[in-house]
Amino acid sequence: NDSKTNSIITTQDSFQIGTYVTLSIYADAQVPDRVFDDLFGLIDKYEYMISKNIKGTELNQVNQNAGIAPVRVSKDIIEMIKLGLKYADVTKGRFDISVGPLVDLWAIGTDFAHLPTDAEIKEKMALIDYKKIVIDETKQTVFLPEKDMEIDLGAIAKGYIADRLKGLIQEEGYESAIINLGGNVLTVGTKPNSDNWNIGVRNPESNAGSTMGILKLTDNSIVSSGVYERFFIEDNVRYHHIINATTGYPEQNDMLSVSIISERSVDGDALSTTVFLLGLKEGYRYIESLDGVGAVFIMKDHSVYVTDSLQDKFTLTSKDYTIKS
């Protein structure tokens, strides 16, 4: 198909769900505004469903009704919570979507970020236990049995939304696109000329957001979690936004970031946070045990570990890092 190699790219940006969104669609002609309006509208829909920062969202109502009553929610929320519970089991509770009270306490990424006292952390820890979350799939409700319990879907939601955007792009008949939700990248199809996409892996130590490697991908998601995204530094300690829910403190390990490559972006999002909390050794083993998922680990000593399925897809482009195995 000759026309495909002549395709043009239409890109539109927005600032939604607390991050920069860039949608690029390849087609024979300019993609109409209406398509982008629908795509950004879909993000709005999810923002008003699951944001913790906006009053009245479904998730807020679940949290407000903690200790009071079950709340009827969209199927999307049930799906995200079920996925969250799965990874909580995998990490024996280090990953825990009921981490909300701790996320609020630390407030990392907001103007109120601060180092809490041990007593404050202990108090919030008493509220955190994913096993207490009650889902009734028939009634489509979620119930948090104790007052002040709070679900936070920040570790999963961007991936979930990216998958829904991909679905809508394909429904509109487009076969070639890149969805970027603040660094959560999901590719649709191949490039118009059938080539793989070259997706940069962010250098976690570059403030300018430069890359340290390239991944060749088709119909894949790449999602990263790391110490560089949202953090503050106090007394030479970097406190970042991935909290070990079994200690109440940001996870301190020897990893700068981990990038997960998967088919669905929601898996990549959940797994990037999960694997960061598992650490290199356990995380690497876990990723190798899964089908169709790969990972690139970037360590503080600048060594890089790439799982088997990605060996021929990843190219290191920075002299500052070394691939180890």
Footprint of ligand FAD on this chain (CB under 6 A)? 17-18, 46-47, 50-51, 53, 95-97, 99, 103, 109, 152, 154-155, 157-158, 225, 229-230, 241-243, 245, 269, 272-273
Report the nearest approach of ligand FAD to the CB of residue 324 (Å).
23
Gap between the Cα atoms of 150 and 266, Å rounded: 21
Contact flag: residue 269 with Mg ion (CB under 5 A): yes
Give the up-direction half-sphere exposure of residue 25: CA atoms within 13 A in the CB hemisphere.
Answer: 21
Give the tokens for residue 51. Answer: 């944001």
Give the tokens for residue 207. Answer: 């403030």
Residue 4 binds which entry of Mg ion, ligand FAD, none, CB below 5-8 Å type-dependent: none
Report the nearest approach of ligand FAD to the CB of residue 94 (Å).
6
Residue 154 binds which entry of Mg ion, ligand FAD, none, CB below 5-8 Å type-dependent: ligand FAD
| Residue 229 or 305 having the CB closest to ligand FAD | 229
Contact flag: residue 152 with Mg ion (CB under 5 A): no
Give the dihedral of Cα atoms 54, 56, 58, 63; nearest 10 deg.
Answer: 80
Residue 150 binds which entry of ligand FAD, Mg ion, none, CB below 5-8 Å type-dependent: none
Nearest in space to 96 (alpha carbons), one of 270, 223, 229? 270
Residue tagged 């907001």 (tokens): 110
Find out whether 300 and 252 touch, Cβ atoms under 8 Å: no
- Judged by CB under 5 A, the number of residues near Mg ion is 5
| Residue 49 or 222 having the CB closest to Mg ion | 222
Beta bridge partners of residue 222, listed in sequence order: 185, 261
Residue 257 binds which entry of Mg ion, ligand FAD, none, CB below 5-8 Å type-dependent: none
Gap between the Cα atoms of 243 and 101, Å rounded: 11
Treating both helix axes as pointing N-terminal to C-terminal, what angle do 75-90 and 157-171 enclose, rounded to 10 degrees?
130
Report the nearest approach of ligand FAD to the CB of residue 278 (Å).
11
Residue tagged 């403190």 (tokens): 249
| Residue 43 or 212 having the CB closest to ligand FAD | 43
Q: Which residue is nearest to ligand FAD (CB)?
A: 18
Residue 255 binds which entry of Mg ion, ligand FAD, none, CB below 5-8 Å type-dependent: none
**Could you give the angle at the alpha carbon of 203 between the alpha carbons of 197 and 206, nearest 5°?**
130
Report the nearest approach of Mg ion to the CB of residue 298 (Å).
14
Report the nearest approach of Mg ion to the CB of residue 295 (Å).
13
Report the nearest approach of ligand FAD to the CB of residue 292 (Å).
20
Residue 157 binds which entry of Mg ion, ligand FAD, none, CB below 5-8 Å type-dependent: ligand FAD
Considering Cα of 190, then 287, then 259, then 152, what sign does the dihedral take? positive
| Residue 109 or 279 having the CB closest to ligand FAD | 109
Gap between the Cα atoms of 125 and 198, Å rounded: 42
For the beta carbon of residue 73, count every other beta carbon within 10 angstroms: 21
Residue 31 binds which entry of Mg ion, ligand FAD, none, CB below 5-8 Å type-dependent: none
Helix (H) or strand (E) holding 50: helix 33-50
Report the nearest approach of Mg ion to the CB of residue 175 (Å).
26
Residue 96 binds which entry of Mg ion, ligand FAD, none, CB below 5-8 Å type-dependent: ligand FAD
SS3 at position 127: coil
What phi-psi label fits residue 43: left (phi over 0), alpha (psi between -120 and 50 degrees) or beta? alpha
Report the nearest approach of Mg ion to the CB of residue 161 (Å).
12
Contact flag: residue 274 with Mg ion (CB under 5 A): no
What is the 8-class DSSP label of residue 219? Answer: S
